[in-house]
Structure 1
Amino acid sequence: MTLLSLKEDRPTPKAVYNWRVYACAAVASFASCMIGYDSAFIGTTLALPSFTKEFNFASYSPSALALLQANIVSVYQAGAFFGSLFAYGTSHFLGRRKSLFVFCAVFLLGAGIMLAASAKRGLGPILAGRVLAGIGVGGASNMVPIYISELSPPAVRGRLVGIYELGWQIGGLVGFWINYGVNTTLAPTRSQWLIPFAVQLIPGGLLFIGVFWIKESPRWLFSKGRKEEAMEILCWIRMLEPTDQYIIEEVEYIERDLERFEREVGKGFWKPFLALKDPKIQWRFLLGGLLFMFQNGSGINAINYYSPTVFRSLGITGTNTGFLTTGLFGVVKTVLTVVWLLWLVDLVGRRRMLFIGAAGGSFCMWFIGAYIKIANPGLNPSGKMSSGGIAAVFFFYLWTAFYTPSWNGTPWVVNSEMFDQNTRSLGQASASANNWFWNFIISRFTPQMFLKMKYGVYFFFASLMIISIVFIYFYLPETKSIPLESMDRLFEIKPVRKANKVLMEELGMGNGRAATTAEDASVSSDEKAGQSQAEKASV
Structure 2
Amino acid sequence: MSILSLKEDRPTPAAVYNWRIYVCAAIVSWASCMIGYDSAFIGTTIALPSFIDEFDLDSYSASKKALISANIVSVYQAGAFFGSLSAYGSSYFLGRRKSLWLFAVLFIAGAGAMLAANAERGLNVIVGTRFLAGFGIGGASNMVPIYISELSPPAIRGRLVGIYELGWQIGGLVGFWINYGINKNMAPSTSQWLIPYGVQLIPAGLLLIGSIWVPESPRWLFSKGRREEATKVLCWLRQLPATDTYMLQEIAYIDEDLTRFRDEVGAGFWKPFRALSNKSVLWRFFLGGMLFMWQNATGINAINYYSPTVFKTLGITGTNTGFLTTGIFGVVKTVLTVIWLVFLIDKLGRRKLLMFGSIGGSVCMWIIGALVKTSVPTDNVLGTMTSGGVAAIFFLYLWTAVYTPSWNGTPWVINSEMFDQNTRSLGQASAAANNWLWNFLISRFTPQMFLKMGYGVYFFFAALMICSSVFVFFLVPETKAIPLEQMDRLFATKPIRGAHGIVMEELARINELQREEADEKPTAEELA
Structures share a fold, TM > 0.5? yes
Deviation at 1:386, TM superposition (A): 1.5
2:268 is the alignment partner of 1:268: yes
8 Å CA contact 2:81–2:138 kept in 1: the answer is yes
CA distance in 2 between counterparts of 1:233 and 1:367 reads 52
SS of residue paired to 2:277:
coil
2:404 is the alignment partner of 1:418: no
CA distance in 1 between counterparts of 2:282 and 2:266 reads 17
CA distance in 2 between counterparts of 1:503 and 1:480 reads 11
2:382 is the alignment partner of 1:382: yes
SS of residue paired to 1:7:
coil
Q: Which residue of 2 aligns with 1:509?
A: 509
SS of residue paired to 1:466:
helix
**How do 1:324-339 and structure 2 match up within 5 A?**
324-339=324-339
CA distance in 2 between counterparts of 1:53 and 1:2 reads 56
2:249 is the alignment partner of 1:249: yes
8 Å CA contact 2:38–2:172 kept in 1: the answer is yes
Q: Which residue of 2 aligns with 1:79?
A: 79
CA distance in 1 between counterparts of 2:101 and 2:198 reads 20
8 Å CA contact 1:50–1:189 kept in 2: the answer is yes
**Percent of matched pairs sharing the same residue:** 71
Q: Which residue of 2 aligns with 1:104?
A: 104
SS of residue paired to 1:384:
coil
Q: Deviations over 1:257-280 (max 9, x none)?
A: 100000001000000000000111
Deviation at 1:381, TM superposition (A): 4.1
Deviation at 1:251, TM superposition (A): 0.4
Q: Which residue of 1 aligns with 2:477?
A: 477
SS of residue paired to 2:243:
coil
CA distance in 1 between counterparts of 2:360 and 2:428 reads 28
8 Å CA contact 1:40–1:172 kept in 2: the answer is yes
Q: Which residue of 2 aligns with 1:349?
A: 349
2:26 is the alignment partner of 1:6: no
8 Å CA contact 1:314–1:378 kept in 2: the answer is no
SS of residue paired to 1:383:
coil
SS of residue paired to 1:348:
coil
| Greater shift in the superposed pair: 370-379 or 414-423 | 370-379
CA distance in 2 between counterparts of 1:510 and 1:42 reads 52
Deviation at 1:407, TM superposition (A): 0.1
CA distance in 2 between counterparts of 1:486 and 1:381 reads 61
CA distance in 2 between counterparts of 1:481 and 1:218 reads 19
Q: Which residue of 2 aligns with 1:15?
A: 15
Deviation at 1:380, TM superposition (A): 3.7
Q: Which residue of 1 aligns with 2:468?
A: 468
8 Å CA contact 2:376–2:388 kept in 1: the answer is no
Deviation at 1:256, TM superposition (A): 0.9
In the alignment of these two chains, the number of paired residues is: 521
2:511 is the alignment partner of 1:486: no
**How do 1:250-329 and structure 2 match up within 5 A?**
250-329=250-329
Tell me the TM-score normalized by structure 1.
Answer: 0.95
**How do 1:33-432 and structure 2 match up within 5 A?**
33-432=33-432
Deviation at 1:378, TM superposition (A): 2.9
CA distance in 2 between counterparts of 1:133 and 1:495 reads 43
CA distance in 2 between counterparts of 1:458 and 1:403 reads 14
CA distance in 1 between counterparts of 2:509 and 2:254 reads 21
Deviation at 1:2, TM superposition (A): 2.2
Deviation at 1:4, TM superposition (A): 2.2
Tell me the TM-score normalized by structure 2.
Answer: 0.97
Q: Which residue of 2 aligns with 1:534?
A: none
SS of residue paired to 1:211:
helix
CA distance in 2 between counterparts of 1:362 and 1:315 reads 21
SS of residue paired to 1:276:
helix
SS of residue paired to 1:158:
helix
Deviation at 1:376, TM superposition (A): 4.1
SS of residue paired to 1:5:
coil
8 Å CA contact 2:490–2:500 kept in 1: the answer is yes
| Greater shift in the superposed pair: 124-133 or 463-472 | 124-133
CA distance in 2 between counterparts of 1:159 and 1:378 reads 43
Q: Which amino acid aligns with 1:489?
A: R
CA distance in 2 between counterparts of 1:4 and 1:352 reads 17
Deviation at 1:125, TM superposition (A): 1.7
Q: Which amino acid aligns with 2:183?
A: N
CA distance in 2 between counterparts of 1:80 and 1:435 reads 9
Deviation at 1:3, TM superposition (A): 3.5
Q: Deviations over 1:478-505 (max 9, x none)?
A: 0000000000000011110000011111
Aligned-CA RMSD value: 1.6
CA distance in 2 between counterparts of 1:53 and 1:388 reads 33
Q: Which amino acid aligns with 2:31?
A: A
Q: Which amino acid aligns with 1:460?
A: F
Q: Which residue of 2 aligns with 1:537?
A: none
Q: Which amino acid aligns with 1:389?
A: G
Q: Which amino acid aligns with 2:166?
A: L
8 Å CA contact 1:312–1:378 kept in 2: the answer is no
CA distance in 2 between counterparts of 1:148 and 1:83 reads 19
CA distance in 1 between counterparts of 2:45 and 2:256 reads 52
SS of residue paired to 1:150:
helix
CA distance in 2 between counterparts of 1:260 and 1:486 reads 12
- Sort the Cα spacing of 1:273 and 1:87 in 2 relative to 1 into closer, same or farther, 3 A: same
SS of residue paired to 1:510:
helix
Q: Which amino acid aligns with 2:340?
A: W
SS of residue paired to 2:188:
coil
**How do 1:434-473 and structure 2 match up within 5 A?**
434-473=434-473
Unaligned runs of 5+ in 2: none
8 Å CA contact 2:372–2:388 kept in 1: the answer is no
